[in-house]
Each structure stands twice: as C-alpha cells, then as structure tokens.
Structure 1
Amino acid sequence: MMSATILNIGIGVGVLVSAGLYFIPSIIAFRSGKSNKIAILLLNTFLGWSLIGWVVALVWATSKDNLPQQIVINNSSSTQE
C-alpha cells in the first residue's frame, strides 16, 4: 500500500515538472511582459506538442518586442510660385 502512494506522488511530481517544462515559452512571455503573450500561450498550448511549435514559441517569447514607431506626416499647404 505504501509503495502505491509513493508511486502516485512520483507520477504527480513528474506530471507537474513536465507541464512546467512544456510551458516554459509561455512562462517566459508572461514574466517578461510580452505584448503578444496570449498568442504565445495559444501557440504553445496547441502546437507545443510538436518540437517545431515549441521552438517557435520559445523563440517568439525570447525575442525583443518591436517598439512603436512614430510616423510624422508633413502636409504643408504652402505652394511655391
């Protein structure tokens, strides 16, 4: 009886560790405050099972966010004669 309890605890710990490793890209995205963290979480959740999806999510989570660009439009109404 005691060995079954230890086995169940071991399985539970293994599942928690595996889930933690699986969601590393999402954890990184949320902890670093990425602007697209929900998209990274969705990618990680639905395509993370494939190695390619997990690596893409990890690269996306660790990449630098693009800073918003300021665009200045100069509409001068002066006409040269």
Structure 2
Amino acid sequence: MSSQDLTQVGAGLTIIAVSIAIYFLPALLASQRKHPHFAGILALNLLLGWTFVGWAVALVWVYVKPSTGRGTKPCPRCAERVKDAALVCRHCGYEFKDLPPSRAEPSLN
C-alpha cells in the first residue's frame, strides 16, 4: 500500500468516526447532562435517529427540562412524589407532620 492509499483510508475512517459521533450526539449529550430519560433518548436515537426527524426529536428532548412535578412534594422516606395535599405517602405510608394550608386549622386571632 502506498502512502496515498493509507492517507485515504485514514481520511475514510475519520469521516466514519465523526459521522457516528454526530449520529449519537443526542445520546452523548443526554449522558453528559445526566438526563433522567437517558435510556429513552438513547433508544429513540438508536432506532429512529437515521431519520432526521427522529434525530432532531432526540436532540430537542435532551434540552427539555423534565417535569418538576408541580403540585407535588417528595416523600422524605422513599423520595417518591406525592400530591402537596397528601397526609400519607401512598408508596411507603409515611405520615406528613405538616398540614397543607388548605387543611390547616384556621387561627382564631
């Protein structure tokens, strides 16, 4: 093999490596950002990334903030989310000591 052939092979391998990196860019970014839906993004990227639409949706999904669970609070025992008005965690049975404002007894001031 001549040096020109080796240069062409090296250039071809570089193009393939860069193409793979661009193809998996959404999954790589999701991993780097520790996205809670990394597995879903990877699956979408792997299965539908070959279509531009699938790749674009996966890339947008990386930057969409996960739901913070408005109207919910985390249980201090099991860390599952329950409604703000919950008095008992439906997952582990933890009883919340603080009453939500809507259920608190009115003050007699």
Partner secondary structure for residue 49 of structure 1: coil
Please report the RMSD computed on the Cα atoms of aligned residues, expressed in angstroms.
Answer: 1.8
State the match for 1:57 in structure 2: 58
Higher relative contact order (CA 8 A, sep 6+): 1
Q: Is the 8 A contact 1:28 1:62 kept in 2?
A: no
State the match for 2:8 in structure 1: 7
Match of 1:11, as an amino acid? G
What are the superposed Cα offsets for residues 36-79 of structure 1, whole Å, 9 maximum, x if unpaired? 10110110011000011001101111111112432122598xxx
Q: Is the 8 A contact 1:25 1:40 kept in 2?
A: yes
Structure number having the greater helix percentage: 1
State the match for 1:73 in structure 2: 86
| Seq. identity, % | 28
| Structure 2: unaligned runs, 5 residues or longer | 74-82, 89-102, 104-109
| Structure 1: unaligned runs, 5 residues or longer | 77-81
State the match for 2:94 in structure 1: none
Aligned length: 76
Inter-partner Cα distance in structure 2 for 1:13 and 1:74:
59
Partner secondary structure for residue 57 of structure 1: helix
Partner secondary structure for residue 67 of structure 1: coil
Inter-partner Cα distance in structure 2 for 1:73 and 1:42:
35
Structure number having the greater strand percentage: 2
User: Whose radius of gyration is greater, 1 or 2?
Assistant: 2
Inter-partner Cα distance in structure 2 for 1:64 and 1:32:
11
Q: After the TM superposition, which of the residue ranges 65-74 and 32-41 deviates more from structure 2?
A: 65-74
